[in-house]
Amino acid sequence: MRKTRRPSRPTIASRSDRYQLYLDTVQSPESDVDFFIRAYRNAYPGNGAPRDLREDFCGTAAVCAEWVSRHRDNRALGVDLDPEPLAWGHEHIIDKLKPEQSARVDLREGDVLSCRGPRADVLAAQNFSFWCFKTRPELVTYLKRARANLKKEGVMVLDMMGGSEVMEEDHEDVRREKGFTYIWEQKRFDPISHDCEFRIHFRFRDGSRLQNAFSYSWRLWTLPELSELLAEAGFSSSSVYWEDEDSDTGEGNGVYRRRPNAPAEPAWVAYVVASK
């Protein structure tokens, strides 16, 4: 008599939520909001606290949710082309806020180039998302539109990465988390066009793998290029906030300070803050 074959157990990868994994490994909404407030106050020391945030390429809108949770007068507008992360964010993040908090979040599925809304004190484009604009005319057009969506005294916050290590093809940055491993893969880099492909994978303790959980086709912009394009777009000034190194480990410790120059580190991350 043939034995009945037991159905195989589903793998951890098949049961995993890629958006939750992204929040757990890539994003830090609390730190982002802390920085936005500090950057705004540095730019306009005579003003009160910023109240209106616009987050372009907002994804799951975790930063918007953190923003409105900070103060009863804070409002957030999140814009993204992709309906899937927006729907996930509504279900898992925005709808779990207090009703009066969620009422102060406006999520819109649309193009950041054409979506208009209330002008913001802070407009953020995080996680290198604006690198989807691969030419100077495209990027300067976006920066002009972003500037138009700021109040008279407002700041735009963008993040950047770079260094020789970031330009290596087939390079992986592996980070072990509790119960799984995060893998950042630099798949391709073209030194002529600066076109690049990056991917995020997750590996689990049962050996299963969530391959290409997220994939990005970008242009790797440099800090001087971005500074010049911000000026061309009409911003009055821009500053680079460099991540300080921990004196014990020599690694970034998540503290960002304004700097006019920096060491040639093999891999770095920084914020760029532009004042309208």
- Phi and psi (nearest 5°) for 23? -60, -40
pTM of the shown model: 0.91
In a shared domain, residues 143 and 48: yes
pLDDT tens digits, 216-273: 999 999 999 999 999 999 999 999 999 986 544 444 567 899 999 999 999 999 999 9
The CATH number of residue 39's host domain is 3.40.50.150
Q: Would you say residue 229 lies in a domain?
A: yes
Q: What is the mean pLDDT of residues 77-89?
A: 97
Q: Would you say residue 187 lies in a domain?
A: yes
Q: How many domains does the chain have?
A: 2
In a shared domain, residues 177 and 66: no
Contacts of 264 (CB under 8 A, 6+ apart): 163, 164
Burial 205-239 (b: 16+ CB within 10 A, else e): eeebbbeebbeeebbbbebeebbebbeebebeebb
In a shared domain, residues 131 and 211: no
In a shared domain, residues 149 and 184: no
pLDDT tens digits, 19-40: 999 999 999 999 999 999 999 9
In a shared domain, residues 97 and 205: no
Q: Would you say residue 2 lies in a domain?
A: no
In a shared domain, residues 119 and 238: yes
| Residue 150 structural domain | 15-162+219-275
Measured CA to CA, the distance from residue 186 to residue 254 in angstroms comes to 22
In a shared domain, residues 93 and 58: yes
Q: Would you say residue 141 lies in a domain?
A: yes
In a shared domain, residues 251 and 126: yes
pLDDT tens digits, 107-143: 999 999 999 989 999 999 999 999 999 999 999 999 9
In a shared domain, residues 91 and 225: yes
